[in-house]
Chain A
Amino acid sequence: GEEVAQTPKHLVRGEGQKAKLYCAPIKGHSYVFWYQQVLKNEFKFLISFQNENVFDETGMPKERFSAKCLPNSPCSLEIQATKLEDSAVYFCASSQGTSGTNEQFFGPGTRLTVL
C-alpha cells in the first residue's frame, strides 16, 4: 500500500494481559521502526528492522516486549503481561532505505490503554 497501516487503532487491556499491535509498511520499504509515545512526551525509539532482520533493538525493554517482521505478514509488536506504564501511542514507520538519507513514513498509531 501507499500508506503505513497500523491496527488496531485503539486497544484496551487489563493489567497483566497480552497486547499485540500490527504494522503493514509501505510496499517496497525494507525498513520498519517502532516508537512509543507516552502522553505528550517525545517519541521513544523501540526497535528497527531491515526486512525480517532486527536492525537495532537498543530501545526495546528487555522483558515483556518482543517484535517480529516476517515475510508476507504485517510486522507485530507484542507486550506480554502489560503494565499501567505501557499505556501509550505506539507508532510504526517505514522507509525505503537506511535513515541516513531516507525519510520515514509514519502510520496513524495504535493507542494502547492498560487499565
Chain B
Amino acid sequence: ILNVEQSPQSLHVQEGDSTNFTCSFPSSNFYALHWYRWETAKSPEALFVMTLNGDEKKKGRISATLNTKEGYSYLYIKGSQPEDSATYLCAFLHNYGQNFVFGPGTRLSVLP
C-alpha cells in the first residue's frame, strides 16, 4: 500500500506571511507528483505537475520543489492572502499505472 503524507495537517497564518508545507511520498517507482488547490464546495484545481528530480515550478506567489530521491515535495506561498485559504493536496503517481494516491491535504487559513 502506497502512503502519501502531508504536513502540517492545518495551518493558520496572518496575511502577508510566507508559508510552506510538505508532501512525502515513496521514493521508489516515482513517476509524477501533482499539487492541487481545493476550496470547500468547489473542484480541486491543478497547481503543478512535477516529474523531474530537482524540479522547481512557480505560479505567481506559489512555488513548488521536488526531491524524488528522498521522496518529498515542498509547496511555498509567498505573502499569503486570504484568498489563498484552501486545502492543498498532493497526489503521487507511481510508474506502473494511472492510480493516483492523494495525500490527506494541508488546510491553510490566512487571517486578514
Contacts and interface: CB of A to CB of B under 8 A. Distances in A.
Given A100-B51, A103-B34, A33 B98 contact: yes
Contact of B34 (A56, A99, A108): A99
Nearest to A6: B43
A45 B1 CA distance: 13
Interface in B11-68: 31-32, 34, 36, 42-46, 49, 51
A42 B34 contact: no
From B36, B46, B99, B102, residue with most partner A Cβ within 10 Å: B99
From A31, A59, A99, A107, residue with most partner B Cβ within 10 Å: A99
B98 A98 contact: yes
Interface residues of A, number: 28
Nearest to B6: A42
B46 A56 contact: no
Nearest to A102: B49
Contacts of B32: 99-101
A42 B49 contact: no
A24 to B, nearest CB: 14
A45 B101 contact: yes
A91 interface: yes
A99 B100 contact: yes
Given A4-B43, A43-B89, A106-B44, A101 B100 contact: no
13 contacts: A41-B104, A42-B102, A42-B103, A42-B104, A43-B44, A43-B102, A91-B44, A101-B32, A106-B43, A107-B43, A108-B42, A108-B43, A109-B43
Interface of B: 31-32, 34, 36, 42-46, 49, 51, 89, 91, 93, 97-105
Interface of A: 4, 31, 33, 35, 41-45, 48, 55-56, 58-59, 91, 93, 98-109
